[in-house]
Structure 1
Amino acid sequence: MSSRRWVAAVPAAPAAWPVEDAAEWPAAIVRTIRPRVLLLAPPSSYRSQAYCRAAEGLGMDILVASQGEYSLMPELAGGLHLDFADAANAIERIAVAHRTAPLSALVPTDDLTVELASLAGAVLGLPHNPPQAARAARRKDLGRAALAAAGLPVPAFRRVDLFAALDLQLQDLSYPCVIKPLTLSGSRGVIRANDRQQLHDAWQRVQKILADQPIPEERQFALVEDYLPGAEVAVEGLISNGEVQVLAIFDKPDPLQGPFFEETYYVTPSRLPEASIMRVVQRMQEACRAYGLREGPVHAEFRVHDGEAWMLEMAARTIGGDCARVLERVIGRPLEELVLECAMGGQPALSPPQLAAGVLMIPIPGAGLLRRVEGVAEARRVPLVEDVVIAIGEGYAMQPLPEGSSYLGFIFAAGPSAEDVEAALRQAHACLKVVRVPAWQVEVG
């Protein structure tokens, strides 16, 4: 797409105008400048480079705001350095950047930056989700409460104190149940328990997983709720001025019954009955309203059982990891382009899906140091497979769920049907052999 979409042909600013305070520039001059988008991204985000490529293709300038001053990515190293834990200071620095050169939109890439983007958007007067809505989308307990208040179907749930007596908090609890952190993503720390002893063991495990969380409340508390049976799907959408546009619905064909809930296969289009798909879309729209979300990407996960769609969780961001690549094969454009256009107030045009597509988030088979992954070339030769990406290098200390927070890599495939795509992903995965060695811990002193 040409940058002419965004740039008006009017004269440049005379040198006398105060470039140090761009907020005071005449409106006609501001319109001559390429839109400038602030991308709020953790330094470990998979998404930063994809957004930078998308912005260049759309004729936009992008300023990356992240933590830390050292990065191999030029956009991070030369961007705006913030302390995400100090929201007030971060917002002030964003405001200074806005006064220097006006920002047109704010785009958070990950859960960590969603709340900050909403707070900064409110201060700068840019399109944003209400801060309380952004918070509900990041915190599972607040999201559950919002759904319940709106009369939407939710499992029985309670917030528990991980450092208080267990028995007093779990009276009248039914089993099986699931304990999960208030935050975190990718099913990290999510554990099913079929009885009180299993819950006690999971309770202690979640305590340890949350020990390094920076926010005290999110270290201390967790959510316990009824286990929901049924087929699981993920929904990717965009919200513009409160209107939800569903981009894709992914089946998760592996049964996710616990005790852990590692996500592996995502395949679209969904093979659920049409009535179930319509129910998922309806509940997605209702949930966005219940949370109060009005702008930007949204990623939600549902269990479908007995004619009802039960939301597991919803986040005000795109699909995680490198999985967004699979959407380009379905909608014909990079997901990041759509998000940026939506952030600018546009209504992205979409073509009807031409292909089925899918991704396998390659699971980590066990703890240890990665030596190598064999069979990658063979996996790439499987018909319909488009790419096999090993995301971690030799010597990486691997940790599976529920403690782990990363995947071994990704396999992408596209083809004429969801069944063909799923079969190709499974065949390619079977080609891989992960070689690992034990990771020994040495105590000194």
Structure 2
Amino acid sequence: MRMYLLALNPTDSVTEGFLPAAARLGIDVTVLTDQPEAHRRTYPETEILDCDVRDFRAVITRIATHATHGPADAVFTNSDHLQTQAALAADYFGLPAKSWQAALRAKDKAEMRRHLAATGAATGAATVWSAELAAGQDPAELAGPGVPYPCVVKPREGVASEDVVLAEGPAELVLRCKEIQSRRPGAALVVEEYLTGELYTLETLGDGRTRHLLGGFHTRVSPPPYFIEEALTFVPGHPAELLTQVLAQLDALGVGFGASHTEFVVHEGRARIIEVNYRAIGDQCDLLLAQLLDIPLFEHILLTHLGEPLPADLGARTDGAARLEYPCADRAGTLTAAPAAADLLVEGVTLTYRPLREVGERHELYHTNRDYLGALRATGPDQGTVDRAVTDFLAGRRWEIQP
């Protein structure tokens, strides 16, 4: 079987999750990427082809002209940026795929808001106020009395809290928009109401007929005006009334094939979606989820893209607890001291720490997950024991940044 995997930069999800899973399944993988050298350094044994993966036409042409291995059996990506391209390419070759329309709705935050507003009566979801600012448009045109302050500004097709910021009033809204436009001159922006409440995620896996709920996470976010995800605690199951609301919105968007990671805010019994990432959760959460549930998560995801049905029961464990913690840089500068990678077993808790920034590297302060210094994954028998192990681990290590 030959699978074409679309990628931008190398990620832990592909390197530690999907490629090993493909090898276990006997799937031959060809990676299409616009950063071939970075992938060759990361996994030199895998076939890497240079391709403008942001252009679905280039992807189709590259696959069609790569006749060495015969026809493709699957086209897959775990990249937020490439879901629509992968769906279009797979559909062109008659292969199992996500709906490209659903992939586009999930990626384009303005279109997601429009679509959910249009289907609100059917889903019962309250409409979130939002407006779109075209690339180069003067933000003063939006900063009128109709905007509900505080509001959130973000790139229409952004990821990972990049350039997501709170604005308290009209002057600040104009300033924030202009700052983002200076960094992203070709990007459209979305301005939407700030959703008060607790942030959660829902992780799902489907084959177009069966949809499994894998639990989710309760996310601790940095104080405004920025929205850095600092820690996530596993939630084995959300209340039924919240699930009904979130799943109705996913159904309205057409999201249900393969993996999906949905972020939503809960306030006074109401669940409102922040965004839908139509792929597996990242930042090593997917690695933790596979370990915690004790299921071949990455294999299941790949097999759905080969047209295989999911089992009625995944056999997932339900007796564990988990937490992820991300030590973050609080200033710009050079990392001069940091702990090394570690794998520990402490009082029944499995701790896995991986550095995300090398000692000696200098970085600016980004106010996104690019400020992560490392990732600590912890799984254990109960939440109290897991939390203590995480707290003790972090307290016993130090990260030092010099200007």
Same fold (TM over 0.5): yes
Aligned AA for 1:160? L
Q: CA contact under 8 A between 1:298 and 1:318: conserved in structure 2?
A: yes
- SS, match of residue 79 in structure 1: strand
Per-residue CA distance 1:198-249 (angstroms, 9 max, x = gap): 32332233223424xxxx3xx1x21111111111111111121154321121
| Inter-CA distance 235–226: structure 2 relative to 1 (3 Å threshold) | same
Provide the residue aligned with 1:12 in structure 2: none
Provide the residue aligned with 1:285 in structure 2: 247
Provide the residue aligned with 1:205 in structure 2: 179
Provide the residue aligned with 1:118 in structure 2: 87
Stretches of structure 1 lacking an aligned partner (at least 5 in a row): 1-34, 439-445
| Inter-CA distance 60–312: structure 2 relative to 1 (3 Å threshold) | same
Provide the residue aligned with 1:63 in structure 2: 30
1:255-270 → structure 2 map (5 Å cutoff): 257-269=223-235
- SS, match of residue 263 in structure 2: strand
The alignment status of 1:372 with 2:337, answered yes or no, reads yes
State, as a whole percentage, how many aligned pairs show the same letter.
25
1:215-364 → structure 2 map (5 Å cutoff): 216=186, 219=187, 221-241=188-208, 243-252=210-219, 254=220, 257-269=223-235, 277-344=239-306, 345-348=308-311, 349-364=314-329
Provide the residue aligned with 2:156 in structure 1: 182
Distance in 2 between the 1:427 and 1:78 partners? 42
Larger deviation, residues 367-376 vs 240-249: 367-376
The alignment status of 1:86 with 2:51, answered yes or no, reads no
Distance in 2 between the 1:99 and 1:153 partners? 52
Deviation at 1:406, TM superposition (A): 5.3
- SS, match of residue 184 in structure 2: helix
Distance in 2 between the 1:372 and 1:334 partners? 36
Deviation at 1:89, TM superposition (A): 2.0
Distance in 1 between the 2:26 and 2:140 partners? 59
Q: CA contact under 8 A between 2:203 and 2:262: conserved in structure 1?
A: yes
Aligned AA for 1:38? Y
> What is the TM-score with the length of structure 1 in the denominator?
0.81
Stretches of structure 2 lacking an aligned partner (at least 5 in a row): none
Provide the residue aligned with 1:424 in structure 2: 389
Deviation at 1:144, TM superposition (A): 1.2
Per-residue CA distance 1:340-381 (angstroms, 9 max, x = gap): 12223231423232311121133222211222215877x957
The alignment status of 1:156 with 2:129, answered yes or no, reads yes
Q: CA contact under 8 A between 2:246 and 2:271: conserved in structure 1?
A: no
| Inter-CA distance 229–98: structure 2 relative to 1 (3 Å threshold) | farther
> What is the TM-score with the length of structure 2 in the denominator?
0.89
Distance in 2 between the 1:61 and 1:163 partners? 44
Return the index of the structure with the highest Cα Rg.
Answer: 1
- SS, match of residue 37 in structure 1: strand
Per-residue CA distance 1:165-223 (angstroms, 9 max, x = gap): 33331222121111111122221111112222332332233223424xxxx3xx1x211
The number of residue pairs the alignment matches comes to 391
Larger deviation, residues 306-315 vs 288-297: 288-297
The alignment status of 1:434 with 2:399, answered yes or no, reads yes
Distance in 2 between the 1:157 and 1:303 partners? 16
Q: CA contact under 8 A between 2:6 and 2:53: conserved in structure 1?
A: no
Distance in 1 between the 2:402 and 2:76 partners? 40
Provide the residue aligned with 1:168 in structure 2: 141
Q: CA contact under 8 A between 1:69 and 1:77: conserved in structure 2?
A: no
Provide the residue aligned with 1:191 in structure 2: 165
- SS, match of residue 264 in structure 1: strand
| Inter-CA distance 61–181: structure 2 relative to 1 (3 Å threshold) | same
Distance in 2 between the 1:409 and 1:314 partners? 25
Distance in 2 between the 1:149 and 1:76 partners? 48
Provide the residue aligned with 2:65 in structure 1: 96
Deviation at 1:255, TM superposition (A): 5.2
Per-residue CA distance 1:297-317 (angstroms, 9 max, x = gap): 111101000111110000111
The alignment status of 1:47 with 2:13, answered yes or no, reads yes
Deviation at 1:259, TM superposition (A): 0.9
Aligned AA for 1:45? T
- SS, match of residue 96 in structure 2: coil
- SS, match of residue 266 in structure 1: strand
The alignment status of 1:140 with 2:109, answered yes or no, reads yes
Q: CA contact under 8 A between 1:380 and 1:428: conserved in structure 2?
A: no
Aligned AA for 2:111? L
| Inter-CA distance 126–54: structure 2 relative to 1 (3 Å threshold) | same
- SS, match of residue 142 in structure 1: helix
Distance in 2 between the 1:334 and 1:351 partners? 9
Distance in 2 between the 1:292 and 1:398 partners? 39
Distance in 1 between the 2:45 and 2:165 partners? 35
Superposition CA RMSD, Å: 2.5
Aligned AA for 1:278? A
- SS, match of residue 410 in structure 1: strand
Aligned AA for 2:322? A
Deviation at 1:97, TM superposition (A): 3.4
Aligned AA for 1:261? F
Deviation at 1:335, TM superposition (A): 2.7
Q: CA contact under 8 A between 1:366 and 1:400: conserved in structure 2?
A: yes
- SS, match of residue 93 in structure 1: helix
Aligned AA for 1:170? A
